[in-house]
A and B are shown apart, each in its own frame.
Chain A
């Protein structure tokens, strides 16, 4: 009897966590699930609709377009940031005064909030007053991100690369620093070229941190909202309307809670699915 009451009391110890997780994760998620299967009218009138919104979202061209743009964006920034980040990490000095300087410089962009980055680049790239925009136009390039979809994309990607390559750099740098000096000596004794050192020592040793880096960049870039919103609000036209922007437009702009909720869930599942596939592929055949 007494043992049983002691056991019950133990729940109090985990209660704070349970309540916290319930309020910031489980309940909001379930609310979304709830909305996604109902038609909403004013006066809090709800009608059960089953899978209707899911079918509608999955069939809509608008969703296909923004998903495609999102995948393009993520693929491009991963293809730039990961190799660039590794290259910078390789080029950075390993120790001494300059190593610290480089690390601080690298950490700087990461400290700047998303919307500030968006605003900075917006002004920086303005064709009439921005340093970048004006210089480009003075050099003869016709560059105006508010009118040209390509220019808007280039600006968006430049912004993300500027903001987040550092993350890959710092992770790779940490990974490289963890390789014992003896590996490099052994390679030198073997007479291995610097390419062989990279291919057979550094890259395999970086595999784990790169998996983390790619996963983080994948999830973050899939969630990107602020930068395109601050830059052009998804324009010109719909050219930079990525998934999250589209979602907000539906949910808040048009107040279509049902489709927006269904889309959120699909969005969430896509990220989960891609992350899982990626992680499985990267860590395949490791714990035999």
Chain B
């Protein structure tokens, strides 16, 4: 099934929640909505589902305008961040509830619930109530309700956000297999870039009520159209510094530091650019002699197991280095970092992508 939004916008009480958005989701595929909290992911999903009518624009299912069609007639299912189940029904009745409302026969219901319960490994718990399940099982029960319906559009609104790390990884691996079957369009909202990359498929990057870019996940990661998309698709946020290109070199605003211009950047005309590099391509320089370096004042170094995250200030902009190994720095210490230009991106001062070396 294909889902398209045409010039859809949403205003509530004079505030714009979703700006003019046109996007055609990939039918029978996994579509990820990626953005920070308050980016409008949930609102966009509610528009897609028909829970709220758009202020303007049209929503098309398979080319048919369904803008005014109420949600219960659209054959949609949705899974939320909270574990939403009917509290006083057991797991079987919970999963069966959409089928009962659809008026299926008892035998049909039994068969389909059994099938979905086995798929989600819920079959030992069919007699239990949601409160007697673990968080992961509760969410699987909610997912089973969404799956059993055979809906054309499945909306997953940060379904793994409230689960602990282990369960999240486990369910994340299963998700594409579970949902991306047959003619079904899946929309998955998440705040985590790594989740979008793991789920694959297509990604729409969102920022403050706008889709900044939509396309195959890997392409967007490597070729973000602009600074906003690049920052949405980087966690911790992408490091930025203003550079001036002149005489085959990038000059940093301190007027001292210079980097050699390489690769696709060579052909660019001289002028001012915004240079962007993801945190895992910035490393403590140690005694390295060759390469591009920056020097900054360390705020804090977080060491988690075999990884270190070092926050420092580069010419009044916050930078982060995410690197393997344990690197201890004192607070306020000045340190030298190596910037891996081969993975950098260059934006115009307006924020559009000019060239990238990220692969």
A interface, CB within 8 angstroms of B: 180, 182-183, 185-186, 188-192, 200-201, 204-205, 286, 288
Contacts and interface: CB of A to CB of B under 8 A. Distances in A.
Contact of B98 (A182, A185, A190, A201): A190
B84 A204 contact: no
A190 B75 CA distance: 9
Interface stretch (B86-94, B252-260, B327-335): B86-94
Interface in B44-69: 46, 49, 51
B76 A189 contact: yes
B86 A201 contact: yes
A201 B84 CA distance: 10
A188 B51 contact: yes
Q: Is the interface of A mostly helix, strand, loop or mixed?
A: helix
Nearest to B72: A191
B82 A189 contact: no
B88 A185 contact: no
A186 B72 contact: no
Interface string B110-144: 00000000000000000000011000000000000
Contacts of A201: 86-87
Given A186-B78, A186-B80, A204 B88 contact: yes
Given A200-B86, A201-B86, A204-B86, A189 B49 contact: yes
B97 interface: yes
A190 B145 CA distance: 9
B87 A205 contact: yes
B92 to A, nearest CB: 14
Contacts of B78: 185-186, 189
B191 interface: no
Nearest to A192: B101
A132 B51 CA distance: 48
10 smallest CB-CB distances across A and B, nearest first, come from A191-B72, A204-B88, A204-B87, A182-B80, A186-B84, A200-B86, A190-B98, A182-B84, A191-B101, A182-B82
Given A189-B71, A191-B101, A288-B132, A183 B88 contact: no
B51 to A, nearest CB: 5
Contacts of B97: 190, 192, 200
B88 A190 contact: no
Among A180, A182, A200, max chain B CB count under 10 A is at: A182
30 contacts: A180-B82, A180-B84, A182-B82, A185-B49, A185-B78, A186-B78, A186-B84, A188-B72, A189-B71, A189-B72, A189-B76, A189-B78, A190-B72, A190-B97, A190-B98, A190-B101, A190-B145, A191-B72, A191-B73, A191-B98, A191-B102, A192-B97, A192-B101, A200-B88, A200-B97, A201-B86, A201-B87, A205-B87, A286-B131, A288-B132
